[in-house]
Amino acid sequence: MFGLYPAGPEWVRAFALGDCAAGDVQKALVDCAGFTIAIQHQPFGQHRGAVLAQFGQMLLLLATTPGTAEVAVTPTVQMQHLLWSYQQGYASQWSAAEIRSITGYSGWPELLTNARREFSRACDYVSSAMDGTLRVPERVAVATELNTSFPDDEDDAFYAEMAAVAASLAVGRGT
């Protein structure tokens, strides 16, 4: 279904949806893995996949061919063109400023390292979402616990705890 994209076959990984609903996979990725929800546009053209979600420079595409139940992870169109240029020996045609303006990376070494890392992480997240093991990372769960209401002015336990924290920080600095 997804075929080849400009960056080549090593930059696309397809997953059979099986019993999973695409909307459930999308929701899990957005809620638990930091993906951004998408409007199902088709950046590579008709029947080349509709974007369900995006993770950095990686897209999660839903198959648009009738009767096909697949999703795939692949780089964005801009990243596809950069990777193709690099693989075909045209890397010197892109300045560091152009790479930075398109991707946010400082040059080819950073772009290639981070593209591989993002692609791998996105694939791992999709696989986990599809098998039901994707969970909110613990550090995110802790951050939501911090969003409690501000204590009353007369909350002596709160002030005692803050004083203890301040004292421990002062001891840590050697004061």
Round the average pLDDT of the chain to a whole number and report it. 85
146 token code pair: 């911090």
Averaged over 109-118, what is the pLDDT?
Answer: 96
Whether residue 152 is found in the same domain as residue 103: no
Is pLDDT at 142 greater than 70 in this prediction?
A: no
pLDDT, one tens digit per residue, over 25-67 is: 999 999 999 999 998 888 888 888 899 999 999 999 999 888 8
Looking at the fold, whether 79 and 155 belong to one and the same domain comes out as no
CA distance 170 to 175: 5
Would you say residue 143 lies in a domain?
no
Residue 131: what pLDDT?
92
What domain range is 37 assigned to? 9-138
Within a domain: 4: no
Residues 42 and 84 in one domain: yes
Let me know whether 52 and 114 are in one domain: yes
Determine the Cα–Cα distance for residues 32 and 136; give it in Å rounded to an integer: 4
Q: Is the CB of residue 31 less than 8 Å from the CB of residue 136?
A: yes
Same domain, residue pair 19 and 101: yes
Q: Looking at the 3D structure of the chain, how many domains does it have?
A: 2
Q: Say whether pLDDT at 173 is over 60.
A: no
- Do 70 and 130 reside in the same domain of the chain? yes
- One domain, residues 91 and 162: no
Higher pLDDT, 64 or 14: 14
State whether 131 and 100 are in the same domain. yes
